[in-house]
Amino acid sequence: MDAKEFVNINYKRIVRLVNLGILRIDNGNCQDHNVGKSDYAQHIIQPWHIWQEYELNPWDGDILKRVLRTKEGESRKLDYEKIIHICQERIRQIDMQDKKEL
């Protein structure tokens, strides 16, 4: 398979990857570095790509971010404690929404 055939077969996926920022059409953008001590920029796919593709709400996006990151100076246990805390709040919100619907 030559490059032209490859692009033709995968055109829609390539466009989606460009729109998500996974494939680049220019040099140097915000995905090339981190702000803070996280290591997201070392990876091809960043949490925000997954948030966009799956149209996650902010709570689910935050949980995903904490699962995927390695943050200097913070233990993995702390990340999981934060995830539990976020889940508890999200469950509270869902419970409140369920009560409103009754």
| DSSP for the chain, written as a single string | --HHHHHHHHHHHHHHHHHHTSS-SSS--GGGS-SSS--GGGSSS-HHHHHHHHT--HHHHHHHHHHH---TT--HHHHHHHHHHHHHHHHHHHHHHHHHH-
The answer to whether 86 touches 67, Cβ cutoff 8 Å, is no
Quickly tell me which residue has 């919100």 as its tokens. Answer: 93
Q: What is the pTM of this model?
A: 0.70
Domain definitions of the chain by residue range = 47-102
Distance, in Å, from the CA atom of 40 to the CA atom of 32, rounded to the nearest integer, reads: 9
Nearest-5° angle of CA 41, CA 67, CA 49? 50
In the structure, what pLDDT confidence band is assigned to residue 89 with cuts at 50, 70 and 90? very high
- CB count, 10 Å around CB of 69? 19
Position 13 scores a pLDDT of 95
pLDDT, tens digit, 9 for 90 and up, residues 22-45: 888 877 677 777 777 777 777 788
Position 33 scores a pLDDT of 72
